[in-house]
Amino acid sequence: MKLFIVMNLQEQISRMQSMMGIIDESRFFHRRVDLDEVKGMLKFFAQQTFYDTKSYEQFKYELTLRAVEHEIYQKHGIGWEDLPEEPEIKFVTEVSNLFEDIIKALYDNYDK
C-alpha cells in the first residue's frame, strides 16, 4: 500500500511540475535532439573545431557540443544561453562517447 501511495504522489508532483512549466532537465535533450542529425553535423564542424582546440578530448567534447547546440537551435530556436547547463554537459558527454569512432576518425584526418 505504501508503494502505491509513493508512486501516486510522484505522479501528482510530475503533473504539477508539467502544468507549472517546470522542465524535466534530465529528459530535455533526449526529447529534442535527433542523433542522426547530430551525427551528420559532426563532419561539418570538424575542421573549425580542430583548429580551435588543443587536445583530442577537448575536440571530442567541443565538436559534439557544437553539433548538439546547432540541432537544438535549428529545430527549436533555443540558443545555448537558454539551455540547462549541467544536463547539457552530461548529454554532450554521452553523445560524444556514442560517436567516438566517427569523432576519432575526423580528428585523425586533421591531425596529420
pLDDT-wise least confident of 12-16, 36-40, 72-76, 106-110: 12-16
Question: How many domains, in total, are found in the chain?
Answer: 1
Residue 74, in any domain of the structure: yes
pLDDT-wise least confident of 25-39, 44-58, 83-97: 25-39
What's the chain's average pLDDT? 83
Residue 6, in any domain of the structure: no
Would the pLDDT of 5 be above 50?
Answer: no
For residue 103, the enclosing domain spans 25-110
Residue 18: predicted pLDDT: 57
Residue 50, in any domain of the structure: yes
Residue 64, in any domain of the structure: yes
Would the pLDDT of 17 be above 60?
Answer: no
Say whether pTM exceeds 0.85: no
Residue 76: predicted pLDDT: 87
Residue 53: predicted pLDDT: 95
Q: How far apart are the first and last CA of the chain?
A: 64
Residue 2, in any domain of the structure: no
Residue 15, in any domain of the structure: no
Residue 18, in any domain of the structure: no
Residue 88, in any domain of the structure: yes
